[in-house]
Amino acid sequence: MLIITLSLNSTASGVFFSWQKASGGYLASTGYNQAVHIYDRHGSLKEQIHMPGVCSGFGWDKDGAILAIINDKSPHIHLWDANTGRSSHLDSALRDQLTFMAWSRTAPLLAVGTAKGNLMIYNHHTSKRIPVVGKHSRKIHSGCWSAGGNLLALGGDDKILTISNSEGDTVHTAPLRGEPSDLQFSEMKTDERALGENTVSLVVSKRTLFLFNINDPENPIELAFQNKYGLIVSYKWFGDGYILIGFSAGYFVVISTHMKEIGQELFQAKNHREKLTDIAISTTLNKAASCGDNVIKIHELTELKDTSAILTLDDESGVDWLAWSDDGQLLAVACPSGHSASELIFVTGTFYFRYTVAQV
């Protein structure tokens, strides 16, 4: 077991991370502080980036070549090049607080949103910036790009879903009954043959799952679940139009988006005794993971009722969240460790090693 202690100069516990796309050679991590740490997959600290404010968003471009970072005190976007190890700064030209960012999954496009609902779309290849004033009337805090890289879905405090093209023009809007979170593009199964991702899904007020089919914008679907499940913690699309949902009371539920089965629970299990805090899926391994209490459980996606592995973290009071690297070789797990530290644990094969993120 390898233990590395880092001083984050933060008064609040918590650790957040993002795997490098494709190779998974690097993992970027931050807390409620003013620094981002970049590790290689062997646990060595590669880079430490300091910022004037708290990190409000970070993520890798589609190739894993560029890590973009925004913070709450500067209009500048920090860009770290994984190939050269060099940093540069991009002026967003947005003069209010930066609150959201997302790279396109297939194009060199970066979207950045602000506390006043403004938007900027940046093309990293051409350096072109497209400012969009008033995309939302209030703070933008969540969003995603379609796989084709030509549609951007955004949600904010104004309880509106917007879908825009890559030039920033709005093509669809939908009012919501509560605050949106966890926006995702995927393919909802319909009677007609779908061509690529046709649906934006999101969680409304942590209670319902909202499905907006861009080919049928007048008829969105909102799914509610049993009260005993608790709040929606996380959800993941997988397979042929299926969705795995994790609930705060420890439940693990699978639904289908096939119209003949919409709203039906195809699988349900009480996966954790007290609470569930996150789920993750590796399409490479065809496995699902859930965490809760101080336990991580691994399931085969083809047979979710069977638990293929259980990892109990005896020294931990709980597990906050987890994410697989794209190649499925490493599972990063964030753990709270009392009031003064958080831990980041890498799980690989039958062993794991730990980073203690101390805060002073």
Indicate whether 192 pLDDT > 70: no
The radius of gyration of the chain's CA atoms, rounded to the nearest angstrom, is 20
- Convert the pLDDT of each residue in 204-217 to its tens digit: 999 999 999 999 99
Count of residues for the chain? 360
**pLDDT given for residue 221 in this prediction:** 97
Please name the residue that has the structure tokens 């119209």: 259
**pLDDT given for residue 185 in this prediction:** 97
Give CA–CA dist 267/303, Å, rounded.
Answer: 10
When pLDDT is averaged across residues 189-205 and rounded to a whole number, the result is 83
Q: Are 112 and 100 in contact (CB under 8 A)?
A: yes
Closest CA to 266 of 211, 291, 303: 303
Which letter does DSSP use for residue 43 in this model?
S
The CATH number assigned to the domain holding 79 equals: 2.130.10.10
Q: Are 252 and 279 in contact (CB under 8 A)?
A: yes
**229 by DSSP, 3-state: which?**
helix
**341 by DSSP, 3-state: which?**
strand
When pLDDT is averaged across residues 98-112 and rounded to a whole number, the result is 97
Give CA–CA dist 327/342, Å, rounded.
Answer: 25
- Convert the pLDDT of each residue in 12-68 to its tens digit: 456 788 999 988 899 998 888 899 999 888 778 899 999 999 999 999 999 999 999
**pLDDT given for residue 316 in this prediction:** 66
Give CA–CA dist 76/93, Å, rounded.
Answer: 8
Lowest mean pLDDT across 2-6, 130-134, 178-182: 2-6
- pTM metric for this prediction: 0.91
Q: Are 294 and 314 in contact (CB under 8 A)?
A: yes
Query: How much is the mean pLDDT over the chain?
Result: 88
Count of structural domains, the chain: 1
Residue type, 287: K
Indicate whether 113 pLDDT > 70: yes
Strands (E), 124-257: 129-132, 140-145, 151-156, 160-165, 170-175, 180-186, 199-204, 208-213, 221-223, 232-238, 242-247, 251-256
**Residue 201: which domain range?**
3-358
Residue type, 272: H
Q: Are 200 and 187 in contact (CB under 8 A)?
A: no
- Convert the pLDDT of each residue in 239-258 to its tens digit: 999 999 999 999 999 999 99
